[in-house]
Structure 1
């Protein structure tokens, strides 16, 4: 059966740690009868997000070590072109961008590359915003503002961790960047999927209203060169108590410079994988289930932030290994 209509594409964006992967997992696990092809982009050489995406029938394509709007844009076009050739095997495509991506060049891709434009249509830009950290992110990172400006839907996430007055204030700030987007307050991205997928909400005309030359030139995009990524791996099991002491002290003393931390860890004496995700001083961790039979047991950690080289991260990580 050959597909004749264009393939709908949903772009999930939002700053580091806002909850994009949580939302993606909800989309992939709820019973809705739809099949998705998923493209995940990460900042850094050591990919973890792909392993944080739940085991599902969907095929997940991972792009590492670059902003999706720049160094890996060619990879994005290549993957999309490959997917188009077998578009009868899925209902839609989901692109999850790295938290440091400006969505503008991603959106451009679906209009300026003719093959992609002929076979796909943007359904909606869904931006996940962190109710706790959004204001500081907007003050320090222009990408956070761009992610709001292009959104058709904003999931204002983690509202359960913020006061009612704070949520109202952050929502008003979102309206300054984008008065048109639908704002949905959520905890753990628990919005109904009908408010996220299949919206037919993207409007190029609206984008051209606030950026008339959007398709005529390279979308202006600057990178914050102060933000870097480091990653560590080991096949040696870790000591749980040593890790908790080191990591807790690290977040307390240097958490302001750690924009994002995440890892999949192998602790001695534990049969399950331990997964943690952090934003600044906040960290959430839990067991993720048994190790896949086709993958080795090892520990992987990724940090994204500023001044990482001065934190002694490798020394601290190495000190957690079982002797």
Structure 2
């Protein structure tokens, strides 16, 4: 007869591993997700995406893949849509033969603890799935700024929470800091989490064997970090952080767009944590993919528009956002605009 240990091991092995991918706004989660979806690792992965904002952009940033991808755009996965997460997981388990790993990508403003809690407090989920690891991406250039962010009383710092609960920390964008800054960032991470393995990276390029199916989540350690982990459902976001989403039909002028975005991020970039968009640019057959983190931004060619309507979608996440000014600014970039 099998020993109790062997029986327990068999039970664990029968459960589908789940990776929770978290990290503050602009840390590189979607870049890592695309690597996971395109590299040869032999796994069939179902993806659950949660996006913060009224206008969805991330769906267009994720590469085409055969994997099943579910989107959750109507709130933050760690609070308002947690019931949706449970329902999607239940739907996935009815298609168990189509995948052998689940990846949950949270918003940049999510506390991973309530997400992880789902795999222990819901009996049906706990019986079929196992939390394999919480993988947190951090932006080496901007992490310290977010760790030192002055939050209102009673509001948690998501960047701190994401590091505290991490089993693996992908220290991304190391090429944007010097050695002394990098050492300081590592010291700050270690002050919050002494045991998680730190994986330095550029463009989220890491050995996927270090982040997938690693069996790294330790409930005992998590309870040391947060003794109320299995019972505490309280979670309060910083309500000063908001999202402005804009959709606009018509082609945009590259010179106008560059001038407007350059001035906007130079003057307001401290308050704009994240900006991203899929833009229709005059004279170009492909979508223009725009990504920004504070004052840093870049643009690349995306998929061809083909027969799809040429509608630009742009999202800003941050503080003190002026919706009217942002809408007017983008409208002013139209080829035929003011």
> Which moves more between the two structures, 193-202 or 208-217?
208-217
Alignment of 1:111-190 (within 5 A): 111-140=120-149, 142-190=157-205
CA distance in 1, matches of 2:249, 2:324: 23
Among candidates 327, 330, 333, match of residue 314 of structure 1 = 327
- For residues 258 and 74 of structure 2, the distance between their equivalents in structure 1, rounded to whole angstroms, comes to 28
Equivalent position of 1:192 in the other structure: 207
Distance 1:179 1:100 in 2: 23
- The alignment's TM-score, normalised by the length of structure 1, stands at 0.96
1:165-208 per-residue CA deviation (whole Å, 9 max, x = no partner) reads: 11111001000110010001100111111111110110111101
Gaps of 5+ in 1: none
**Could you say which residue in structure 2 is the equivalent of 1:230?**
244
**Equivalence for 2:316:** 303
SS in 1 for 2:270: helix
Structure 2: runs of 5+ lacking an equivalent: 1-12, 152-156
Larger Rg over CA atoms: 2
TM-fit CA distance, 1:210: 2.0
SS of residue in 2 equivalent to 1:308: coil
Q: How far apart are residue 292 of structure 1 and its match?
A: 5.3
Farther off after superposition, 232-241 or 259-268: 232-241
Secondary structure in 2 aligned to 1:95?
Answer: strand
- CA shift, 1:33, in A, is 1.9
1:210 lines up with 2:219 in the alignment: no
CA distance in 2, matches of 1:303, 1:317: 12
**2:285·2:306 contact (CA, 8 Å) conserved in 1?**
no
Deviates more, 1:281-290 or 1:170-179: 281-290
Where in structure 1 do 4 or more consecutive aligned residues deviate above 3 Å? none
Residue in structure 2 matched with residue 91 of structure 1 by the alignment: 100
Measure, in 2, the Cα distance between the counterparts of 1:237 and 1:59. Answer: 32
Matched, 1:276 2:267: no
Residue 254 of structure 1 contacts residue 311 of structure 1 at CA under 8 Å; is this kept in 2?
no
2:261 pairs with 1:247: yes
| Superposition deviation, residue 322 in structure 1 | 2.3
Distance 1:311 1:278, change over 3 A: farther
Aligned residue number for residue 9 of structure 2: none
Bigger drift between 295-304 and 96-105 goes to: 295-304
Q: 1:292 to 1:8 in 2, by over 3 A?
A: farther
Q: Are 1:103 and 2:117 matched, yes or no?
A: no
SS in structure 1 of the partner of residue 236 of structure 2: coil
SS at 1:151 equivalent:
coil
SS of residue matched to 2:316: strand
* CA separation of 1:65 and 1:44: change in aligned 2, threshold 3 A: farther
Residues 267-286 of structure 1, C-alpha deviations (whole Å, 9 max, x = no match):
11001111011010000211
Whether the aligned pair in 2 keeps the contact of 1:15 and 1:128 (CA below 8 Å) is yes
Kindly report the root-mean-square deviation, in angstroms, between the aligned alpha carbons of the 2 structures: 1.3
Cα deviation per residue 1:102-151 (whole Å; 9 max; x = unaligned)? 00100111111111111100010000000000011111161100000000
Say if 1:50 and 1:60, in contact at 8 Å, map to a contact too. no
Which SS does the other structure have where 1:237 is aligned? coil
Shift of 1:45: 1.4
CA apart distance, 1:297: 2.2
